Amino acid sequence: MNVPAKLQIGDEIRIVAPSRSGAILSEDGVKSATERLEALGFKVTFGKYAFESDLHHSASIEHRIEDVHEAFRDPAVKGILTVIGGFNSNELLPYLDYELIGNNPKVFCGYSDITAIASAITAKTGMVTYSGPHFSSFSMDIGREWQTEFFKKCLMQEEHFSLTPSEQWSDDSWYLNQENRMFEPTEWKVYNEGAAQGRIFGANLCTLNLLQGTEHMPNLGDSILFIEDDEMTIPETFARDLTSLLQVAGEIRGLVMGRFQRGSKVTDEQIHYILDKHPMLQNIPVLYDVDFGHTQPMFTFPIGGEVVLNSADCSIELKKF
């Protein structure tokens, strides 16, 4: 895998909107996220069309492509953060210049709908991309420190490190009320014990499944899948989507599932019921309720990077990222 150079203090980070537009963010949110990235030592710049907004709260395909290409083309830009998720980053996939991107490897980070474009870049170029905070995530007040710590470990340091549970987590609409947050203790949970090493693929499940049958789908064989979904899923749709992904993946070495939002009603009972259906999951390490996805805070992990998983002691160590 082609691992981009790590970010350094003084580097320029370009903010682009390959999915929803930055126009949905408040002025205060844009200001605070910018200031916090600058406090980490980065120079923050924005794509020309990052705040263009249409009927679907996005920009045209042509303008989104232009911003992504310009971010990879510009030698001053060392990292690229997405504004936020959404629904339509897969619209860009046939029009991306993968040769340009592969010849200019740099950190590309976001989550949720960004899974489509990040996974396609990794599949087509061999470049590691990252599932982690959006630009908008840096406007969160409480819980940001833990999230930022693992953002820095994954994107700024060369040394191997372990992903470890946060102390507390939240499923509230923090962007509506920063002062009255509701947290509860974090517990990563073991479905099946075991140990494995392999490359990470995955992130948002329903978005990754959009790539099935296209040239943009990564080869998931022998991988360790990291998957999550948001409150728009329900147990039945999650079960269907997981089954589809496992059938495409074939043999995998491990499964790590991000924590579900309460609105999904994907409870412990539902998770065990769904996972029990799959014989392959009875012989590999499986963890769930882990700190990534649509609850806060989240860690950053490399799509295409290498990980050592030991579910017995909830150990996740990144080896090549």
CB 122 within 8 Å of CB 218 = yes
Q: Given phi > 0 = left and psi -120 to 50 = alpha, else beta, which region is 7?
A: beta
Point out the catalytic residue in the list 19, 58, 112, 223. 112
Q: pLDDT truncated to tens, each residue of the chain (321 aa)?
A: 899 999 999 999 999 999 999 999 999 999 999 999 999 999 999 999 999 999 999 999 999 999 999 999 999 999 999 999 999 999 999 999 999 999 999 999 999 999 999 999 999 999 999 999 999 999 999 889 999 999 999 999 999 999 999 999 999 989 888 888 999 999 999 999 999 999 999 999 999 999 999 999 999 999 999 999 999 999 999 999 999 999 999 999 999 999 999 999 999 999 999 999 999 999 999 999 999 999 999 999 999 999 999 999 999 999 988
SS3 assignment for 116-166: HHHHHHHHHHCECEEECCCCHHHHCCCCHHHHHHHHHHHHHCCCCEEECCC
CA atoms of 190 and 312, how far apart (whole Å): 7
CA atoms of 252 and 223, how far apart (whole Å): 5
Task: Mark whether 137 is an active-site residue.
Answer: no
Structure tokens at 292: 């990534």
pLDDT given for residue 143 in this prediction: 83
pLDDT given for residue 221 in this prediction: 96
Point out the catalytic residue in the list 91, 264, 294, 306. 294
pLDDT given for residue 142 in this prediction: 87
Rg (CA), the chain: 18
Point out the catalytic residue in the list 89, 136, 139, 228. 228
The answer for residues whose C-beta is within 8 angstroms of residue 311's C-beta and 6 or more apart is: 190, 191, 192, 193, 194, 195, 254, 285, 286, 287
Task: Mark whether 131 is an active-site residue.
Answer: no
Task: Mark whether 294 is an active-site residue.
Answer: yes
pTM for this entry: 0.97
Q: Can you name the residues that pair with 203 across neighbouring β-strands?
A: 227
CB 108 within 8 Å of CB 135 = no
